[in-house]
Amino acid sequence: MKLAPLRQSRNIDTATSAMLLTIAMRGKVPGKVTMGDIARASGVSPMTVSRVLSNNPAVKEASRKRVLAVTKRLNYHVDIVARQLRAQHTFQLGVVVPFRGLVGTYYFGQILQGIQQVLTGTDYHIALYDSLSEDFNDIPKCVNLCHERRVSGLIVVAPGFDAKFPKTFANLKMPIIVVGSSLGRQTISYVDVDNYGGASVMTEHLIGLGHTKVGFVSGRADLRDASQRELGFRKTMERHGLPVVEEWIIQGEYEARKAFQVSMNLLAKSDRPTAIFAANDQMAYGVIDAARILGLQVPEDLSVGGFDDIQSSAEFVPSLTTVGQPMLDLGLVAARYILDVLSKSNAAVLHRKLPAQLVTRSSTAMPNPHRQSVTSAVPLSKISRIDQG
């Protein structure tokens, strides 16, 4: 007997559902469940089943729940390989990131977690590509990635100033979004944090405490977020009529050890800042360690602020005043945008900056004029061991 599919609008009670399930599976070989079986047992059309299994939002919630309940009961699994062959792509979302200095960091981990949250429950999965080892600035390699590996879309994380591959990918009409940089191109989608605004808020905080002698530890020169944070610091100081002392702008490369080394030289001078704004939390740790070695107390002798609000900053001693950026949300927005483009094929270009917020803790305080300018008697020749660890 051929059982006609029921319309989605018709209610199906438990007994009827069980009966349909029995009829749908009559004579079936275990493990050979098809979408047609799911449709008959759920009382919906095969098209509706396909949409539910593809996570298509254009399905009524009641129908979705009914189909998912039947698929679970029948232990149905989508044949991903068959779907890939029919669709002529691999359901891969390429995440392109410079492995050197970024993979393994809290920043990248949070972005990746956000992407994975969006992909969970879909057919898509992540394929990681190192933008440095792959040499994506070589245009033929870009074409190879798109056509031979058949990735469905690309999420490019923290490309450098001189990176050419995002534009090349965009010219190949591949869905793409850049995370952590705007690239300055109107035709390429991006999601970023308001680095300029966040740096301005931190600088305002230090000035508001009464600091007029403020130093800055900058990030990597090849990254746009680093330049925006430094610009936010400089412009805010100028807006308040405060001097930006170039000798107090030191390069930390976004690394704690490098920040420690350059801070040792700065803080050992008789004329030093009373507050330092480091462009990320790791560098702020390096500044605080340098201050300790030199006998300076934080925040009594030196206020220190960071940027990122990574997990360890609240537990650091002293707990770090910093600028929190929504790293998880960067991944969420990027992945949702790519899936939206893939489902609509004509989604608008996205230009979005997420707000950064000041997180005030115990590493910053009002300057104390009664403290000695330099309390350390430790000669620089005695601290070379720090450079090795």
Each residue of 364-381: pLDDT tens digit?
Answer: 999 988 764 444 444 443
For residue 65, pLDDT over 90 is answered with no
Average pLDDT over residues 36-57: 81
> What order do you get walking across the sheet with 275-278 strand by strand?
249-251, 214-218, 275-278, 303-305
Q: In Å, what is the CA distance from 261 to each residue of 101, 258, 291?
A: 18, 5, 11
d(CA 176, CA 170): 7
In this prediction the pTM is: 0.73
Residue 354 confidence (pLDDT): 97
Tokens of 335: 């992945």
* DSSP string over 179-222: ES--TT-TTSEEEEE-HHHHHHHHHHHHHHTT--SEEEEE--TT
Each residue of 77-119: pLDDT tens digit?
Answer: 655 444 544 445 568 899 999 888 788 889 999 999 999 999 9
Q: Which of 31-35, 56-60, 174-178, 263-267 has the lowest mean pLDDT?
A: 31-35
For residue 11, pLDDT over 50 is answered with no
Could you tell me the sign of the dihedral formed by the alpha carbons of 286, 303, 330, 143, in that order? negative
3-state secondary structure of 348: coil
For the purposes of burial, counting CB atoms within 10 Å of the CB of 114, is it exposed (0-12), middle (13-18) or buried (19 or more)? buried
Averaging pLDDT over each range in 10-19, 76-85, 354-363, which range is the top one?
Answer: 354-363
Residue 1 confidence (pLDDT): 42
Q: What is the DSSP letter of 284?
A: H
Average pLDDT over residues 322-350: 91
Average pLDDT over residues 39-43: 87
